[in-house]
Structure 1
């Protein structure tokens, strides 16, 4: 059975909850917080109930005045080997850093607008060259203007600076929004990530209004990057076979998905039986796991794959095929609980005569 691993799996930093301090109420000495998920809500310039990060839309303790603070992640919360950050139109400067234990080595590759091609660890000479050639103060302008992979390495001092500096000396800003992709090539997971974007407010607001959003409950800008390199393989999908996913549960309930698989009559006639798999991926983190861990959802609970018997962890095994199939797995934990560990849900199937086909990540969208 082919694994669920994809060619690349860049996790959006904006899909983790971001807490924003609200203004102190009369007589109070402690802040309360608003929590938002998804770039659309986290950085909306107008029309947001409560406090939108970086904008004084009402109720913000620290309005920001044009500085969009990124979510801060500590411990195990953002220990993905591949993640991405959206750099919106109107960005004038970008600061982004992390923290690693002193005396350790870690290497990363970054690329603006598309996934980086480098997947192998740096050689000793490449690591040394990246370390001695570091120019953080001009790294943001080089990321935007140079369509190449950029390497960032830890110098052993604790703080690891990924990006810094202005777009140029004239306070110019980006003309369009693009994702910045970050892949860790080697080393231990970092303890935290933090950063901020400085934007030209009118240009940012105009660009925000033109963004195409994902259809998830917590929208991010549509990812239009060209494919890049990455580990793992997946079989190509069967022509005419589609999988759509929606959420059946409500806030506070265990997450329950509605998965609908549609095939052509020709495909069904050629494959009278079908098995399906629903899997949850927990990215490598600093809590227990040093590598990604996969759990498979069966109808009656969770299980881990024991090779060479993939049917033992199937959600449905050798069932009768049809042009429209529906699966409604409950994942036992709430949306909030799953997002706290950056859990992702994947779907795949195998017909009685065909190869295994991964349909990739189905939640969060």
Structure 2
């Protein structure tokens, strides 16, 4: 019979979370602080900011067995095939060791046609990882990037401690659903996690599906979060929900960057424009999403002749112009064209399955390219020698 040690799950044991909420079951990690969530009661933002993309439990322990009681909330779409259960990945000293899923949990049903959502309560489940090396080690459990996860209880067969700082730089990234990890197969397969691993940095992922919208509360969150490196991937959400016209875009970008600079005046700051998305390169939004025979169909409804409305082409031109102008007075500001991460040749080889999001192979391509261009020699986030 296993002699278990139960350890309370607290923010000090979590990496990548900015806040934890106490619930009737346990704790719920959040990637936006409570004050920011209160400023925008949008249900979609509440959903994606509570999905723990890039969030992981980090423990120092000699334990050979770990149990974690969780209550997931799974999102399903009426009329569409069920999504796979979220994946929990266990790493030992940074290397993949095991993975598991929980089939139990709440179910959040979205009816796209009716514009309604219903949450059906369900029971918690238990993850079990056994056979870990009986030596001092760092154990990380990466939570599903696409499944809200309440953490109820953590049990191990040896005591656990907080992982000490190891000197790695902290990379704070903000972006849209692609940065969030949409359509990736597991939490460490999302492109920011891959890039962070290759770049040898500690990731805080503020990729918020559908919500990279230049919101002031997001800028203030980035301003107030300690980080050694910051990147913001801007544009595609503004286009696909047709949020603003060209007149408003440049001032909003300037304001967003100004706010970040209030807290990080000399931190390397990288502005990344959208990756290639033929659906909206030259056609404004909004996007229409429909389910046909269980398949998601996306269409851009805007008029390509209306030059006041944003397209990806216009967004890239404006971001390049803005960053070039600001960089004259800000030598730590950099720009990266998103098509250098995923462009026309990549689209021919690895097309976007739903027309908008890359699959796991696409995420790998983007993550490897980012690591090479940004963390590699000569890149804006390259480690300084000496």
- Give me the TM-score of the superposition, normalised by structure 1: 0.35
Larger Rg computed on CA atoms: 1
Structure number with the higher helix fraction is 2
Higher relative contact order (CA 8 A, sep 6+): 1
